[in-house]
Structure 1
Amino acid sequence: MSVTTQPGRPIPDNSKKRETVTGYLSRLGLRDRPAPTVAALTELHRRHLDAIPYENLAIMLGRPDSTDPGQTLARVAAGGNAGYCFHHNGAFELVLRDLGFAVERRFGQVWNKPEDRAVPELNHLVLLVTVDGRPWWPDLGLGDALRDPVEVIDGEIRQGPFRYEISGASAQGWTFRHDPAAGSFGYVDVRPASPAPADVAASHLMLSSPPDGRFTRVLVVQRRDDTGTGVLRGIRLQRIGDQPFTRDLTAYGDWRAALESMRVSLAGVTDGELRSLHARMLAAHEEWAAADGN
């Protein structure tokens, strides 16, 4: 595959932004600034997934964070949560550019069925990184999917217990098929358009606004590791991959402990807010179970 990338636009090299990137690297356990290599990209990707979960807690509490990448990076560097794909990948783009990587934004759409391709059409931010003329796709915002960045070429990908596939790879984009065993989304379509910050903000507003925003319906926390994924959806805690299990956390204390064990920051969140959210998720779960759940 031959991909023409747009020139990288490094964030201004001033002391404040350099300090923020340094804080981010420190949170990942890195003391030195890595060189822009595939090995470094992979290490950053893995360390980020280990340290910072995919979650929608702020949205579920009714105060969604801005998708401004600088604000997200500062929040993460200070020990806070990131959010979902727009936040994780947006902040990661700033870090990669500051480290000297050539990065291009791409339009992404996550879907399960053709009828899912609705509004907003842009529901995923994709990064394309070129190293030594080869296109790589890091993605910290897919929740339970990529553990490592992948080269954008057609073929099957094996990562831990999951099998993925990239097809149609060209300068016009590609399609990613998730492993059905993950029980998550089905596909990601990537297009050559480079979404502007205003495009991302507009889509985020739709995704994070009740009652129809897809991230406003249930709390979701996901952490991808070498052998699978930990998932908290509502009050249901699952392990998908090695040593799978499903456990419904009906007791508030167990549910809160699960959030903390998955490294969700609860700074600035009151116990009352968390108890209210747990009660909402418990009620929704019981309603679902009474209807057609198991």
Structure 2
Amino acid sequence: MIDGYLRRLGVEGRPEATYETLVDLHHRHLDTLPYENLSIMLAAIGAVGSPDPVDPVETLERIATGGNAGYCFHNNGVFSLVLEELGFEVVRRSGQMLEATGPSGTLDHLALEVRGLPTTANPGGRWVADVGYGDGFRDPLPLVEGHFRQSGFVYRLARVGESGWTFHHDPHGSFNGSFARGSVTSEDIEASHLRLSTPPEGDFTRKLVVQRRAATGADTVRSIRHIRTGSGRSTRELREFEEWRDALGHIGLSFRGIEEDALRELHKRQAAEYDEWLLTR
């Protein structure tokens, strides 16, 4: 079931469940599969019938055949499934973005804890793995309190109560941070995905976001703006459709099965909404 996913990431065979494998797969997933809400945005404008489902098995099949993954529920959902198939011990945690407008405890992020991988630097062997933040950390973080530096970025983990944790993003990141509490079920994720991906109130139905965290920085296309953080920091507007499409493809977005007319309509609407934002900000 996971062999097509591993081949997409450039891995032949099934690696052993070691810390080194966790780091390698974390890097390869981030390099290959961006965070994105393209199918949600296309559904919101009526270009496709419904967004890509959040079920990890369906996400796995979509990735294996050259398609996109999705946002955090998709990326971390499929990553946890693959890790478990390889023999890792994974705990799925309920997460919430710190700046979320919903009530406390609202599920809008899936966080992953990987256990049983002690190292000299982390004898407890518990790690935070997250390929669903878009421009988050590159290497898995040890699940201990403290500050962590990676390629010019600084992150922090802090305890919340008995079992909760807060992740504080680098000041140049696209969000402030998030916290994780208890465990989460597939039913919880399905319900939250429906809420987030249904217009007009769904948070992910308003603006296209495509992000990829590479070794030395992160690239984000938000609406028609391309933002680079880390090495080579820059910001530019993508007014021309071809320039916008090329930028999305460079970040790693797949256009398999997507008609160009639908992409053109999405770019047109995003450009108009961006201009409205410029006038009212």
Tell me the equivalent position of 2:126. 135
Identity of aligned residues (%): 48
Question: Is residue 159 from structure 1 mapped to residue 150 from structure 2 by the alignment?
Answer: yes
Structure 1 length-normalised TM: 0.88
One-letter amino acid matched to 1:160: S
How far is the alpha carbon of 1:259 from its aligned partner?
1.3
Tell me by how many angstroms 1:224 deviates: 0.3
How far does the alpha carbon of each residue in 1:66-98 deviate from its partner, in whole angstroms, 9 at most, with x for none?
111100011111111000000001111110011
Inter-partner Cα distance in structure 1 for 2:200 and 2:219: 27
In the other structure, the counterpart of 2:17 is: 36
Quote how far apart the aligned CAs of 1:119 are: 7.9
Structure 1, unpaired ranges of 5+? 1-16
Q: How far apart are 1:148 and its partner, in Å?
A: 1.0
- Partner SS for 1:181: coil
Q: CA deviation at 1:166?
A: 0.4
Give the letter for the 2:248 counterpart: L
**What CA deviation, in whole Å up to 9, does each residue of 1:43-88 have, x standing for no partner?**
0000000011110000000131111110001111111100000000
Runs (4+) off by over 4 Å = none
Deviations 1:91-116 (A, max 9, x none): 1111001100011111111122xx73
Deviations 1:209-257, CA, capped at 9 Å, x for gaps: 1111111110000000111100000000111111111110111111111
The match for 1:217 is 206
1:118 is displaced (CA, Å) by 2.9
Indicate the SS of the match to 1:134.
coil
- Are 1:54 and 1:143, in contact at CA under 8 Å, matched by a contact in 2? yes
Give the alignment's TM-score, normalised by structure 2.
0.92
Partner of 2:180: 190
Q: 1:78-227 maps to which residues of 2 (within 5 A)?
A: 78-112=65-99, 116-118=101-103, 121-132=106-117, 134-168=125-159, 172-182=163-173, 184-192=174-182, 194-227=183-216
Counterpart Cα distance in 1 of 2:128 and 2:160: 12
Q: 2:47 is matched with which residue? A: none
The change in CA–CA distance for 1:170 and 1:152 in structure 2 (over 3 A counts) is: farther
Q: Write the distance in 2 (CA, Å) between the matches of 1:195 and 1:212.
A: 23
Aligned-partner SS, 1:226: coil
1:134 is displaced (CA, Å) by 1.4
Q: Which residue of 2 aligns with 1:73?
A: 60
Return 5+ residue gaps in structure 2 as ranges.
44-49, 118-123
SS in 2 for 1:167: strand
Whole-angstrom CA distance in 2 between matches of 1:136 and 1:170? 18
The answer as to whether partners of 1:42 and 1:149 remain within 8 angstroms in 2 is: yes
Distance in 1 separating the partners of 2:113 and 2:164: 10
Q: CA deviation at 1:171?
A: 5.5
CA distance change for structure 1 residues 199 and 232 in 2, over 3 Å: closer, same or farther? same
Query: What one-letter code is carried by the residue in structure 1 that aligns with 2:136?
Result: A
Q: CA deviation at 1:32?
A: 2.3
Q: 2:16 aligned with 1:25, yes or no?
A: no
Query: What residue is the counterpart of 1:7 in the other structure?
Result: none
Distance 2:223 2:103 in 1: 24
1:152/1:169 contact within 8 Å kept: no
